[in-house]
Structure 1
Amino acid sequence: MNLEITDRWLSVQEIAHYLGISKETIYRWIDSKKIPAHKIGKQWKFKTQEVDQWILTGEAEDKQ
């Protein structure tokens, strides 16, 4: 039985790489509750589908 896992949970490092930004930026967004993130134990995890939707709806824009 060969099950392929799609849309797996990504780490901070993986989501930073996926978005082409630094891990520090991801942590700043987590602290300000901007990016959709889930804490599992002591680690932050992300679903690419949620992050993609967050970007496409314009919620990722810097409102300064």
Structure 2
Amino acid sequence: MSELNDRWLSVDEIGKHLGISNDTVYRWIDKHSMPAHRMGRFWKFKKAEVDDWVKAGGAAEMPSKGERAE
């Protein structure tokens, strides 16, 4: 894997990669155990870890009571 492809991604970058909003990224970290690493006050992501998590169904959301699915 090249160094460029293995770099840490920001919330904005991982959201763009997945086609989701930053708010959804934060919700998935909190409610769906999205693989994320805290570096100071920032969240960082490894693209391969997130891709594996999505493929395993980690991003599948069931709406809570009173909440609509996106």
- How does the TM-score come out when normalised to structure 2? 0.76
Higher relative contact order (CA 8 A, sep 6+): 1
**1:1-64 alignment to 2 at 5 Å?**
4-64=3-63
**Percent of pairs with identical residues:** 53
The one-letter code of the counterpart of 1:16 is: G
User: Which consecutive unaligned segments of at least 5 residues does structure 1 have?
Assistant: none
Post-superposition shift, 1:5? 2.9
Counterpart-to-counterpart distance in 1, 2:40 and 2:7: 17
Matched length: 62
CA pair 4-52 structure 1, distance change in 2 beyond 3 A:
closer
Unaligned runs of 5+ in 2: 64-70
Give the 4+ runs in structure 1 shifted more than 6 A.
none
| Structural RMSD (CA) | 1.7
Q: How far apart are the structure 1 equivalents of 2:45 and 2:3?
A: 18
